[in-house]
Structure 1
Amino acid sequence: MNMFYFSFIFMFISGLIIFCLSYKHLLLTLFSLEYLVLSLYLMFFVFLLWVGCELFFVLIFLVFSVCEGALGLGVLVNMIRSYGNDLLSSLSILSW
């Protein structure tokens, strides 16, 4: 069972490392955020099964994570239509 928890922690830490290292592309950042949300979802689901609580909390968490993904995709599409790419390094406040 210890190895089971270690795999959850490894998933979360690897997602955080990818999130910190992919700061130039918005699409890679969104993918790593979705990976973090899925790893948190899995940990939350297993914890609620272990405690014996209702699983409606998992459904609410899943609804909020889908809303977060749709919002991120909308920002990505808007940025690609405005600037032509998803590179965060091409954005500048001084370009106005």
Structure 2
Amino acid sequence: MKIVSLLGVGVIGVVLGCVCLVSQRKSLFGVLLSMEIFTLGIYSVIFSVFWAIGELGSLCLVFLTFGVCEAALGLSVLVSLVRSVGSDYVSSLTSGHF
């Protein structure tokens, strides 16, 4: 029963992450947060599927490592953008600033 509930939470996380990612038009920070929700939803789906199979191999750990690397890279790009432009709003981005 725990597997089904974890799989349901993962699917809800993936759907919620997709909806938030599509609806974000102003802030890049919101886009990064929705991508993290999406990543954690996929991780919980992968974890629950591999737990049901009985093979908790290193794939879950590798996927979580890539998720952390993606978060660190996104945060560094966000900090660089805020330092150079002054805000993280998409409307303030033009090709003349780079």
Task: Give the shorter-chain TM-score range.
Answer: 0.7 to 0.9
Structure 2: gaps (5+ residues): none
User: RMSD between aligned alpha carbons?
Assistant: 1.8
Alignment correspondent of 1:19: 21
Per-residue CA deviations over 1:5-31 (Å, capped at 9, x if unaligned) read: 444322211110111111220000000
Matched positions, count: 95
- TM-score scaled by length of structure 1: 0.88
Distance, in Å, in 2 between the alignment partners of 1:76 and 1:57 is 28
Alignment correspondent of 2:66: 64
Could you tell me which of 28, 39, 47 is aligned with 1:45? Answer: 47
Q: Percent same amino acid among aligned pairs?
A: 34
Change (3 A) 1:13 1:63: same
- TM-score scaled by length of structure 2: 0.86
Query: Post-superposition, which runs of at least 4 consecutive aligned residues in structure 1 deviate over 4 A?
Result: none
